[in-house]
Amino acid sequence: MRLLCILASLVLAADCANTKQRTFGPAARHTSETPKDIAAFQTQSASVSSLNLQDAAVAFAAHKGFSVAVTGTVSSPHLGLTHVHLVQTLDGVEIVNAVANANVRTSSGAIHSFTSDFYSSKEADLELIRRHEAGQLLDPLPALDAFFNELGLVPPSTAGASVSKHPQGLLGKRDFPPSAALPGQRPFRRTPDFEITLPSLAGVSAVGLSAPHSGPIAVPATLKYLRTDSNELVPVWDFEVDLGNNYYNAHVDARAGKKSSKRTLSLVDWVSENYFEAEAPKGDDEGEIIYERIVERVSYRGKDAKRKLHGKFKKGKKGDNVEPYQKQKNKHQAAMVVDDADSEENNERSSIHGVYKVYPLGTNDPLEGDRNLVKGPLSLVASPNGWHWCSGGKKQCPYGNHTVTIGNNVYAQENLDGSYNGWENKTRPDGTSKLIFDTPVDLSQDPETYVDAAVINLFYWNNAIHDLFYVYGFDEVSGNFQDSNLERGGLGGDSVIANAQDGSGHNNANFATPPDGSHGRMRMYVWDVTTPWRDGDFEGGIIMHEYAHGISTRLTGGPANSGCLGFGESGGMGEGWGDFFATALRMPNDASRDIEFGMGDYANGGKGIRRFKYSTNNETNPSVYSFVQKPAYWGVHAKGEVWAEILYEVYWNFVDTHGFNADWFDSPLSHAGDNLLQHASGNTYQEFSTGRTRTRKSVTWPDATKNSLPKSDDPYPLGGNVLILQLVVDGLKLQPCNPSFVDARDAIITAEELLTGGKNKCLIWKGFAKRGLGVGAISGGFDSFKLPQECM
């Protein structure tokens, strides 16, 4: 069945393959303080240097007349900044979309920049607790019921629900301190006022509900404020509703007696999916781009498609030139192909190291290269106890580690039945006490026959991404995904739950990113567009894209706020960062700027899943900023293609100028003075795609006291690829909540100024300007191809 889906957001899930609800909310109102205002504050606050960095940010907000609380503090030592995230409070109640990002100089406590969305009107009725006690506010259960009705749940799912009041919630306390008294030294985190326990949703249908729940669902409910587009301050119930393939954070109007056709004022889905569909771009007579989409009904793998994990499978035919599948329980090949120089180290390797037969980083999929035996972890700073560390000790793990695909960073398992509950007890391949995971694959067979190999590949990629982005700044304090944070700060208990061959859908993938301290959740699906079907677990770019949602969401607005990339241009960039990371990190060592990449080529049978390949050739990829105004680009995934293409242009400007460093772990952050990461990986690194051990090149910095700043005309010592990856990650920390393309561009430019003193700003401007984000571009998709005068 073919359907022309131009206005995809207006089509029901049953008619189009996208099952997600349209996300929405009030528009951001960013106010960036001028250097003059900041200087005036510094002059008036002579004692600012004596304040800790959080208090300096709080003091600046108070100087502007706002009461705030600190929700998180993240460091960028190589930039000399600490990022303090704030939320505005009124009588101890936060305004969910009134937040600020204060970038404070670590050495002095001086404010470097301050961007906020604060509410400034003095006309609001702030006596929220009194209004609730007087019955002027809607109770949480009918508010949740209103949300479910608007979501389309049939039948209403609050029947039989129970509501319990938290004694430590704001509504349960009479003596809650005013927000000014909240200590800046600790993150502000409200205890939910109520918890609503819903019965099982088995048998309940809804737009966006893609998997049945076999158990009860707990929904935290917290009374907060929301500033609307009309600048009205409205009391709302903040709900966190986990429906499996959707994890909604909804803000529902709490005013009793309010007559409105719609109570849900803001809706963000913490699950980001790639909306993978076969699309063929076509051009009409007016130059507009229309997409004829092959619509595939999203459905569960039915009984006919399901088989027991330990059932009988067909083996590959002789002469297939593939690895015949043999189900082995606790049996693994003893022979391993390793470098001669590495064999001695391998024989004497520590028990924390594992060996994995996978398509490693740099090998995107089976069409791009072979599986190799590679070792992990990839960074002993990011994963000092290895990838299978068991915090329960030898009583829980006799060998000192888990021997299956479980560790501090990820739990990887099959989920063939598509269930929501019970992931803890799913089947996983066992590497024995030697931690050798070498399972053969026969790609000519049904994916279910090589599910163990899929789990191993998924486990490896999640850990590898964790280790790689750690050395670029996605660490514990920044909200990364770890069960134990090793006493390094942040909230633990949030390793990634990674499901291979998840039976709740197909031809897609998704990632859930709730706030720091709650598990990330990755669901990888089988693709049925080829014969035999193909497994998304073997396409590294898809895994990278999904994990990148966790990175960009936790870094933008701070790890406690998962709502900063929910919709609009912000949501689009959330998709674009994933494509950019996936594309850059699969780059061959000898690649040049004329190389082009698709996304999802393997899984989707060679067709790809994006409108255009990523390319610096305008004929291959004509994307410019103004494309986001087109009806076909109203969705976040289409917007993301534009953002990823812009970053791809900037990437090649850096590589052409500074060269390519095959050692992606040699990040600028790892060379930041006395930083923990300095020389942490020693003098060798593991090459992407081959897994071979290589000698790390020595770096001579012109100035040991400013080792990230080479001389003005010298190439950047570490290479252009690692430099631009660092700047993009830094930009995530610098930018405000709900950024526009212009905000994100400016954050990257600021990061470059702080790291390399503006020596590379023209490389950035030329890439952005080529695609319409030059000087004078206006948020909303208004192009400018103009360069700064000094870059012409």
Measured torsion, CA atoms of residues 163, 167, 171, 176, in degrees rounded to the nearest 10: -160
Both tokens of 165, joined, read 């009041």
Asked if 646 contacts 621 with a C-beta cutoff of 8 angstroms, the reply is no
Residues constituting the chain: 792
Helices and strands in the chain: count of H runs, count of E runs: 13, 26
- Neighbour tally for 242: CB within 10 Å: 19
The annotation status of 575 as a binding-site residue, yes or no, is yes
Half-sphere exposure of 302 (CA within 13 A, CB side): 3
Residue 135, CA distances (Å) to 225, 254, 556, 753 in order? 17, 11, 37, 54
Closest by CA position to 254, among listed 364, 171, 372, 354: 171
The annotation status of 353 as a binding-site residue, yes or no, is yes
Residue 167, CA distances (Å) to 194, 288, 521, 564, 589 in order? 9, 57, 30, 30, 58
d(CA 33, CA 582): 35
- Whether residue 288 lies in the annotated active site: no
d(CA 787, CA 164): 58
β-pair partners for 512: 271, 521
Closest by CA position to 540, among listed 509, 496, 567: 509
Catalytic residue among 414, 546, 645, 649: 546
* E strands present in 233-320: 233-242, 247-253, 264-269, 271-273, 279-283, 289-294
- Neighbour tally for 239: CB within 10 Å: 24
The annotation status of 545 as a binding-site residue, yes or no, is yes
Helices (H), 92-192: 128-133, 140-151
Across the beta sheet with 521-524, what order do the strands follow? 271-273, 509-512, 521-524, 496-500, 410-414
d(CA 317, CA 19): 39
Known binding positions for Zn(2+): 353, 545, 549, 575
Active site residues: 546
